[in-house]
Chains A and B, each alone.
Chain A
Amino acid sequence: MLDQEKTFEPLIVAFCCNWCSYAGADLAGTSRLSYPPNVKIIKVPCSCRVDPIFMLRAFGKGADGVIVCGCHPGDCHYSTGNYFTRRRFALLFSLLDFMGIEKERMRLEWVSAAESAKFARVMNEFTEEVTKLGPNRRLMDIRNLPEGYEELGRGPHREVLDAQAPHARNIPSVVKIEEQMKARATKLLADGVVDRVLAWKAGDHETMPEPAFFDHPSQIENMVYNKYCAHNLSKYLMVAPWLGGKLFDGSTLIFLKPCDSYSFNQLIKENLINLEKTHIIGIGCGGTVQVEDLEEVGMWEKCGVCTKIHHPVGDEIIELENNSPRLDKNARFATVEAIEALSADDRFAFWQSQLSKCIRCNACRNTCPVCNCKRCVFSNNKYDMASKVNATEFEEQLFHIVRAFHVAGRCSDCGECSRVCPQDIPLHLLNRKIIKDINEFYGEYQAGQDIAAPEPLTSFDLNNDGQAGKN
């Protein structure tokens, strides 16, 4: 064993920006400063060109350490590129750490063209540190069952999820709201203000309402709104014009619960909603319940910790009577904190046990309002991502990390990903961890609250980005 450790030679990939760090590496050569041959450099124009996917791919293919080097803040050849790099990797490193993946395997360093000695020193230190850690396995194993937990779903540290057990609580009646919704929908359709209505209709059982379009006042009697209407309708309006292979050119009335209205507002921000042809009615909500085998098992987790009682967007609002905040707004982070408190090994085992259940059905992606790419990177050939049946490919292993990262700063924490997951994986915790980090690192930010607010990952603060040093 000792011998093995001694002979372990880590593979280290270094992404260096052309203007500072690559030149710094060149100068290290010119100055004959030595660092281990384990370090292999890939040149990029700017550190901001390094996609987290590159880093994950390197780990997935067998790299033991990955380091990104850029110009010092303020010295970027492109003025501001490294500020985005700094935020991006601070959040990525923190997320991976949250999943129990050794953050010591990844680094972000600023190396100027003159800092050859720093370049050599950083590479020496980093190689030494990664050598101590041994071969990288965790990222490749993140979706494999941990040893001793072969029984699906009985993974370690289920207890952290108890913190998010559905809250038993009286759910206020929304019958009055349903009546008003029907009245408004009928009127707006009859007056020709809208051509169709997006709401819920009765399903096979009263606990199973379904999202539905209504295009005639006579259909409105089938509309329902009750405590089982958990679906976030935001995304239907975005994709609906394509349904049936026909373009819909008319205008739509959409009903939005408070939480949905944040997602919807984010879609407005991303220019994915034709506001001119949309009539928005915000509706009150007292929480929705989870049903198993036609039995109520309690409130959905997302409703249990919900603090969103107002609508950031809406042409009309039908409020709930006695609408008042239910919870401390930070209560939703309790589970994230419980996981953070575990050891790295335990965090890893927890996520392994959860993510190993994933069957890659794409339900999370399909329901997520901000997973709104026309072609997901996992389905197009831009990144030559593996096809989804090939469950051993590393991209598959990293799907949830990449997905969480792609919605970072855009996710309004609607919780739909976890609600629709047939395997009961608490996927929303990955997003919520990023939200918590954004709040802590860069100041409180709620996606979908204000469409004029700069997004945390596409903006920077010269004076308040020190959190990147956390890695």
Chain B
Amino acid sequence: MEKIGFFVCHCGSNIKATVDPNVVLDGVRSIPGIVVAEQYPYMCAKTGQNMIADAIKTNGLTGIVIAACSPRMHEATFRKVAEAAGLNPYMVEIANIREHVSWIHKNKEEGSQKAVALAKAAIAKVKLNAPLFPEENSVIKRALVIGGGIAGIQAALDIAEAGYEVDLVESSPSIGGKMAQLDKTFPTLDCSACILTPKMVDAASHDKINIMTYSEVEKVEGFVGNFTVTVRKKARSVCMEKCTGCGDCWNKCPVKNIPLEFDLGLQNRKAIYIPFAQALPLVPVIDREHCIMMKSGKCGLCQTVCQPGAIEFDQEDELVTQKYGAVVTATGFETINLDKFGEYAYNDSKDVITSFEFERITHGAGPTGGELKRLSDGRKPKSVTFIQCVGSRDISGRGKPYCSKICCMYTAKHAVLIKDKYPDVNVNVFYIDMRTPGKAYDEFYRRGVEEYGVKYIKGQVGKVVDKGNCLTISAVDLLDNVKMELETDMVILATAIQPVPSAKPLASMLSASIDTNNFMTEAHAKLRPVESPTAGVFLAGAGQGPKDIPETVGQAGAAAAKVIGLLSKDVLLSNPCTAMVDINACNGCSLCAPVCPYGAISYGPATVNDHGLKTIERVSHINQALCQGCGACVVVCPSGAMDLQGFSNKQLLAEVDALC
């Protein structure tokens, strides 16, 4: 016979004000099996916890029900109390009489009666609870970081510094990411490369970090603590070990006119190339699509000039499979395509550029050597106009509904950079709202206005027209409420950012969820911001949402800390609320496997003993480590052979019966 302890919490006056604890106690006292029925002002306080623990020990309770706040709040607390007192933690049920009763209902009589009903349901359930025991799974002490931008580099460095092996996978030929393309960084205006390249070098030279550039994740299996990931190392056609990075090959390569991705196509590259001078690893790749040797078999100049003999035209993609305990996604962002924004004349005029393109123009190693020039005629502009929120905060469906967050500040930076170098250039900024929260951010923006004389105009631009020698802008100044026409020499669009397209297939490989904008979803928006809902997958950088460099680095460090915490454990306890098969009832009909999102169900022979008649039958089998306990398989099973521990058919029906 079960011995159930029942405890009502007053939560100070939070519960007691609209639920009479005595009514609740009287309502359940006579239920068979109830041997303790107590109340206390704060069940979660130490004294309340001791009261529960004492009752368990004194009465040898087989289960407890606490009528208190939501189980989302203190279920874990009370489970620990039970465990410490020698009761299996899964013999605890919570009747939620605060969030679902006292805070909702003002009538004390009604509230108390509803509390009794919920208490009865919880008691009916706990009587059918069974002790559950988590399984132990060992943790592979190695992390995978996907994405070699600043987020990935930082996360990899932090994890490696704690002593764990890290594989850093980057799809492009070099690590560095978007930050490597930037000139200066706000609000301090320090040079991006000066602060990034040392970190790149640290990562590349770290003995715990294994960098795989020009590589992509191809397949993910497994679960927290024990992922098996296959990475495709694309054929570089250059031997990493032999290459010295001397540059003879790309100097001699006759294919010249391929737009350089790193420079957003503003400069050209060869068919064998490094994306930028500080690339790491400093080993070129052959662009097989454009290489003459690859296309026609006639050329091989690079191979001829390469002293160490590093050119390998016959190199093939290599698949590397490795086990990891944790995965960090740091896939980053890109700017959106502006085809739908014809009004800004981006596709029509060379002098309308995105802020990212401007970043290359103002960069010393960029297409103009850092000089401010119109791309159409090379003339130095007399006036530059910035347009903010291009595609951001756009609910028309052309752009993105969210704020891209970084644009206000980088536009302020660009405006200051121009004014600093060329005080005579007129700089106008069209904005909708200025959003400059962040340490020293607003001060920086105001300096632009007050010290440098950047002119900010609140309003959206209706049309940009390229007149050849200048551009005209039609806009509305919302503060003065006047229509305005403006002549300018260059227009710079603060273009919305979005996750890279590869984020979506990656999320699906990892079973990590993404939101409607393809940003990775966090496990909890406030309390678990660097974890994905899938255990063992962590998030860093702009792939999770728009963010600037300090935030990205901060989040990368936080994700690394979570990874380190995970890898420091030798074993992980699994959630024991998993599906279970009664092989005596299972007929192997195979309805269950298609609904399992985790591939946890397989079928195989098992010895079934039906009243002494032993046969080998094909039945369902659950991989307990993969099962997350959703219950989809349980409901499609028509015979009830499948059941969910902790939420069994009998338990849920008992709750229904108790309520009805």
Contact = CB atoms under 8 A, between A and B. Distances in A.
Contacts of A380: 585, 639-640
A52 B656 CA distance: 12
Nearest to B593: A458
Interface in A368-391: 372-377, 380, 382-384
A88 interface: yes
B264 interface: no
A9 to B, nearest CB: 9
Contact of A13 (B72, B113, B659): B659
B649 interface: yes
Interface string B640-660: 110110010110110111011
Contact of B659 (A11, A34, A458): A11
B101 A26 contact: no
B100 to A, nearest CB: 6
Interface in B568-590: 577, 582, 584-590
A49 B644 contact: yes
A13 B114 CA distance: 12
**Contact size class for A?**
35 or more
Nearest to B644: A49
Q: Which of B587, B590, B628, B652 has the most CB of A within 10 A?
A: B652
Contacts of B659: 11, 13, 40, 42, 58, 63
B591 interface: yes
B121 interface: yes
B653 A26 contact: no
A115 to B, nearest CB: 14
Contacts of B104: 28-29, 32-35, 37
Contacts of B594: 454-455, 458-459
B629 to A, nearest CB: 6
Interface stretch (B55-63, B132-140, B551-559, B630-638): B630-638
A1 to B, nearest CB: 24
A57 interface: yes
The listed residue with most A CB atoms (<10 A of its CB), out of B70, B118, B640, B647, is B640
A25 interface: yes
Nearest to B597: A79
A406 B533 CA distance: 32
A35 B99 CA distance: 12
Contacts of B657: 57, 61
A271 B512 CA distance: 32
B114 A40 contact: yes
B653 A37 contact: no
B192 to A, nearest CB: 37
A41 B96 contact: yes
A271 B589 CA distance: 6
Given A13-B660, A23-B72, A54-B652, A40 B635 contact: no
A42 B121 contact: yes
A84 B96 CA distance: 28
Nearest to B111: A37
B589 A49 contact: no
B644 A45 contact: yes
A373 B586 CA distance: 7
Interface in A267-285: 269-272
B106 interface: yes
Contacts of B639: 373-377, 380, 382
Contact of A29 (B103, B121, B590, B638): B103
Contacts of B469: none
A164 B106 CA distance: 57
B632 A78 contact: yes
Given A374-B586, A406-B638, A459-B594, A48 B71 contact: no
The interface centre, meaning the residue of A46, A57, A383 with most chain B CB atoms within 10 A of its CB, is: A46
A29 B99 contact: yes
Interface string B69-111: 0111000000000000000000000001011110111110011
A457 interface: yes
B595 interface: yes
B635 A58 contact: no
A370 to B, nearest CB: 9
Given A29-B99, A271-B590, A45 B650 contact: no
A420 interface: no
Given A13-B660, A35-B104, A377-B638, A25 B618 contact: no
A13 B121 CA distance: 12
A82 to B, nearest CB: 10
A29 B632 CA distance: 29
Interface of A: 11, 13, 22-23, 25-30, 32-35, 37, 40-46, 48-54, 57-58, 61-63, 74-75, 77-81, 84, 88, 245, 247, 269-272, 372-377, 380, 382-384, 406-407, 454-455, 457-459
User: 10 shortest A-B CB distances, which residue pairs?
Assistant: A29-B99, A49-B631, A373-B639, A382-B640, A61-B660, A78-B630, A29-B103, A406-B638, A270-B589, A458-B594
20 contacts: A27-B99, A34-B106, A40-B121, A41-B118, A42-B121, A45-B629, A48-B635, A51-B634, A57-B656, A57-B657, A77-B630, A79-B597, A245-B613, A270-B587, A270-B590, A271-B589, A272-B588, A373-B589, A382-B639, A407-B638
